[in-house]
Structure 1
Amino acid sequence: MTSSLVNTAQNILNSNFQEKKGFTLPCKGLYPFQWYWDSGFIAIGYAHYDINKAKSEIETLLNAQWNNGFIPHIIFHNESNSYFPGPDFHMAELHLDASTEYKSTGMTQPPVTGFVLEKIYQIAKDKIDILDFIKKNIDKVYDNHTYFYKNRDINNEGLVYIYHNWESGTDNSPVWDDIWKTMNSPDYDFERRDTSHVDPSERPTKKEYNYYLHIIDIAKENNYDDAKIAELSPFLVQDPLFNAVLIKSNNALINLYKIIGNNEDKITQLLKWTNKGVKSFNTKLYDDELGAYVHYDLRNEKPIRLVSSSSFVPIFANIPSKQRAAQLISTMITKFGGEDMYLCASFDPTNERYNPKKYWRGPVWINLNWMLYYGLLDYGYNEIAQRIKSDSIELVDKVGFYEYFDARKSVYNTESKGCGGNNFSWSAALFLDLINN
């Protein structure tokens, strides 16, 4: 089983790799460009068998970085009419610091690149070669972190905001539902492209897209100026997933700068950001009653008291104490770990908003499982870590390398496919890493 799946995973990545452009499609047809956090996860998979492709993935992403350190969530390397909204809607060039060479969006995604560089360093056999590559690129990643803390930490508390649900990576999570109720969005006339590739019932609704486009329009009206967005965007959230990934990447950069040497100033700054962020995480984002980290709605100044897979990702960044981690994992097993459930659903299966097949409203995602797996190992929860790993591999073995998966074991007695796009790159890439660990 394993060797066959390894071959399939490598074939998916190789098939999705765009030779002339040097990046990998997340999924043919459905996602025809380069995505920020997809590229990071994809590079980890390549590192196990083709280090040059891993390097290319990261370099291509960093080449599109803006002058202020910002890295967009999509880089439109090629023309394609199979995705909406495209570059003509986003108009990222309205920002003075936007890349003049690459068309992109004016929003970002969870900043995985720091921990990806460290992971690639750990995997690579030729340490001298990979360290040389990291030396050439690490300051760009540091500049990306500087951008976040300089422009997105409006309360100077070590927690940065996202201004669009797409920046979270968890696009249509039920976590956002109450924010949509505060918004009065126009009804946009547009043609969806994603629903021609996959089952519309597994995707966000047209009404949700109206909110998504409205937020982009507000950002465009203000030339993607961060201060104006912080002042005016109806969506302004401190997300535990996004901030945990940033802190994990801070720590990875610290480790890599120590190996490189002569970077004490950057290490000192990264430590300051991290210490401040961890403290705020534990005082502001932890909900004792729920036993989980939650999102904080900055616009409406209140916590969003819902539990999702994002609630547990802080263990990946060593944010909770051992005692708090125990509480967190107890919540995960109690709510998400039932006998009929694969770990870990993307949203609380005990909540009425849970939907087992609809994108980020309930299905299992391999990238979140991958982060939880390593976090659980770090805290010594080896048995639960192995359950998450074996659940992830079993899902892939049952139905293939899909984008996401129904968490209910019983459905696979009658169904033989996953959800969303098939031959999905990060599912293939992170499977390769899990198998090799």
Structure 2
Amino acid sequence: MTDRADDGGRSREERRAEAVRVLESNRRDGYTIPSATLYPFQWNWDSAFVALGLADVDPAAARREVETLLSATWPNGLLPQIVFWADAEGYFPGPDEWDAGVEDIETSGISQPPVVATAARRVYEVTGDDDFRDRVVEPLDAHLSWWRRERSTDGVVYTRHPWETGMDDSPAWRGPLERFDPGHVAYERADRKSAALADQRPTDWDYDRYVALLQQGRAADWDESVLRETCPFRVEDVLTNSVYVRACEDLAALYASGDDAAAADRWREQAAETRATMRGRLWSDDLGLFVSYDRVAGEQLLEPTVAGLVPVFGGVPTVGQFERLHETLTTDFLDFTYAVPTYVGEAFDPDRYWRGPVWMNTNWLLERGLRRYDATEAADRIRADSLALCDRGGFREYFNPRSGAGRGSDDFAWSAALYLAWTGDSQS
């Protein structure tokens, strides 16, 4: 680990200490909020990235982060996108709008990419805590089984809300959202804390559809058997599937470490099935990357987003596909001052949420995946740029890929956590 000074004159160790302080400031009773200014509850994949960063630094906190999240698993295996552990007055959409949860735990009614399995494996490998492993395998199994049972017919899983993908206002969702009329939806947005932030967030056009999808799910009492037939947004999101493949691998590894060979084989077979389907239906040779698939319209969503590169995280691309994908990465996504923009198509906007800025979590998924394919030069570039952005701008929510300017919320938890993961000895 290099102990160089950043642009503010701070050493790498001083910046790591600052990252720890951000996480401690954002920590609540057993979980870490993404941001005090905008996201004051527990978010699913945010907590997973936090646990990944804490594994080497504060293993006890990392274990608790994972277990607190898993404690909100529904009886059917859904692991919610948001868990409302605290008072949600003034937040929209809050628990009253979702009307969802289990027993006395209020949650949203959708999920998010299952990074939690990868985080649990990482925490276990760092700590060697067999008791932790034995506590988490059952809820992890229940959750990944939920994806397979409720959201798949042939191994590839689908999402039914843009929020569920994590990349809320990706240009890839424009087509599916245009294909339905949300009607009149009454609500008051609470996600715009300043004029500058408002310009970076999804539009009212998008939010009308987000809220309409939420209201439809609530009206169906979150019954997947109803929603799989009626929900107008049913998208096989390439990022969610990439993370799902890796999650199946990681759950298999946890089972194998506990000598449950049958369960390990079952989840390895699931990973192989999903990979095989992705290689066919979600690959675009024209774009040279993977894309999402609209189940309603029966067509690929041909937008060049960073999600189309993330299948390397699950070992999805064939040798030939990876050669094309690596060319696309180098030509289209690395041709910026800072890698990797989340989108490089016609609607590119370097400051607008998931339409161009660099996010640390997608950078981490891509960087880790590239190393599976021995693409060391590209992986090193992404890691170096990610650290430089945080060194220059602090732990912001996202960054302009041209100027490096930080955007969105300050003191963003997964930016701090992944900085720790990248600069820790075992992640270097």
TM range (shorter): over 0.9
What residue is the counterpart of 1:422 in the other structure? 410
Aligned-pair CA distance for 1:282? 0.5
What residue is the counterpart of 2:340 in the other structure? 344
What residue is the counterpart of 1:22 in the other structure? 30
Distance 2:107 2:171 in 1: 27
Matched letter for residue 101 of structure 1: D
Aligned-pair CA distance for 1:31? 0.2
Residue 45 (str. 1) matches residue 53 (str. 2): yes
Three-state SS of the structure 1 residue aligned to 2:232 is coil
Residue 380 (str. 1) matches residue 374 (str. 2): yes
What residue is the counterpart of 2:149 in the other structure? 150
Three-state SS of the structure 1 residue aligned to 2:398 is coil
Distance 2:19 2:124 in 1: 21
Task: Identify the match of residue 204 of structure 2 among 203, 206, 222.
Answer: 206
What TM-score, normalized to structure 2? 0.94
Matched letter for residue 143 of structure 1: A
- Structure 1: which 5+ runs fail to align? 93-97
What residue is the counterpart of 2:5 in the other structure? none
What residue is the counterpart of 1:85 in the other structure? 93
Matched letter for residue 304 of structure 2: V
**Contact 1:29–1:82 (Cα < 8 Å) also in 2:** no
Three-state SS of the structure 2 residue aligned to 1:202 is coil
Aligned-pair CA distance for 1:343? 1.1
Query: Cα deviation per residue 1:136-163 (whole Å; 9 max; x = unaligned)?
Result: 111110110111111110xx21001100
Task: Identify the match of residue 422 of structure 2 among 407, 424, 434.
Answer: 434
Aligned-pair CA distance for 1:172? 0.5
- Structure 2: which 5+ runs fail to align? 1-10
**Contact 1:245–1:317 (Cα < 8 Å) also in 2:** yes
Matched letter for residue 321 of structure 2: R
Aligned-pair CA distance for 1:323? 2.5
**Contact 1:82–1:194 (Cα < 8 Å) also in 2:** no
Distance 1:220 1:49 in 2: 40
Query: Cα deviation per residue 1:267-298 (whole Å; 9 max; x = unaligned)?
Result: 23212321211110001100111111000000
Three-state SS of the structure 1 residue aligned to 2:293 is strand
What residue is the counterpart of 1:284 in the other structure? 281
Matched letter for residue 3 of structure 1: E
Matched letter for residue 238 of structure 1: E
What residue is the counterpart of 1:138 in the other structure? 137
**Contact 2:165–2:239 (Cα < 8 Å) also in 1:** yes
Aligned-pair CA distance for 1:367? 0.5
Distance 2:268 2:253 in 1: 11
Matched letter for residue 14 of structure 1: E
**Contact 1:64–1:71 (Cα < 8 Å) also in 2:** yes
Aligned-pair CA distance for 1:324? 1.5
Aligned-pair CA distance for 1:341? 3.0
Matched letter for residue 369 of structure 2: G
What TM-score, normalized to structure 1? 0.92
Three-state SS of the structure 2 residue aligned to 1:199 is helix
Three-state SS of the structure 1 residue aligned to 2:83 is strand
Distance 2:300 2:132 in 1: 41
**Contact 1:72–1:107 (Cα < 8 Å) also in 2:** yes
What residue is the counterpart of 1:8 in the other structure? 18
**Contact 2:350–2:356 (Cα < 8 Å) also in 1:** yes
Three-state SS of the structure 2 residue aligned to 1:296 is strand
Q: Work out the percentage of aligned pairs sharing the same amino acid.
A: 33
What residue is the counterpart of 2:390 in the other structure? 396
What residue is the counterpart of 2:7 in the other structure? none
Matched letter for residue 34 of structure 1: Q
Matched letter for residue 327 of structure 1: R
Task: Identify the match of residue 36 of structure 1 among 30, 44, 48.
Answer: 44
Aligned-pair CA distance for 1:82? 4.5
Distance 1:219 1:324 in 2: 37
The count of corresponding residues between Structure 1 and Structure 2 is 414
Distance 1:83 1:326 in 2: 45
Three-state SS of the structure 1 residue aligned to 2:117 is helix
What residue is the counterpart of 1:109 in the other structure? 112
Query: Cα deviation per residue 1:92-115 (whole Å; 9 max; x = unaligned)?
Result: 1xxxxx411200011000011111
Query: Cα deviation per residue 1:60-104 (whole Å; 9 max; x = unaligned)?
Result: 111111111111000000103342110100111xxxxx4112000
Distance 2:312 2:360 in 1: 16
Aligned-pair CA distance for 1:183? 1.4
Distance 2:52 2:161 in 1: 26
**Contact 1:32–1:82 (Cα < 8 Å) also in 2:** no
* Structure 1 stretches of 4+ moved >6 Å: none
Matched letter for residue 11 of structure 1: R
Distance 2:388 2:90 in 1: 31
Distance 1:315 1:341 in 2: 23
Distance 1:122 1:265 in 2: 21
Residue 161 (str. 1) matches residue 158 (str. 2): yes
Three-state SS of the structure 2 residue aligned to 1:23 is coil
Three-state SS of the structure 2 residue aligned to 1:24 is coil
Three-state SS of the structure 1 residue aligned to 2:91 is coil
Distance 2:215 2:145 in 1: 26
Task: Identify the match of residue 368 of structure 1 among 348, 356, 362.
Answer: 362
**Contact 2:155–2:270 (Cα < 8 Å) also in 1:** yes
**Contact 2:88–2:95 (Cα < 8 Å) also in 1:** no
Distance 2:174 2:113 in 1: 20
Residues 261-300 of structure 1: matches in 2 within 5 Å?
A: 261=259, 263-300=260-297
Distance 1:181 1:66 in 2: 31
Distance 1:187 1:392 in 2: 42
**Contact 2:120–2:136 (Cα < 8 Å) also in 1:** no
Query: Cα deviation per residue 1:194-252 (whole Å; 9 max; x = unaligned)?
Result: 21256101111122110000011111121111121111111000011001101101001
Distance 2:126 2:171 in 1: 36
Matched letter for residue 76 of structure 2: N
Residues 225-304 of structure 1: matches in 2 within 5 Å?
A: 225-261=223-259, 263-304=260-301
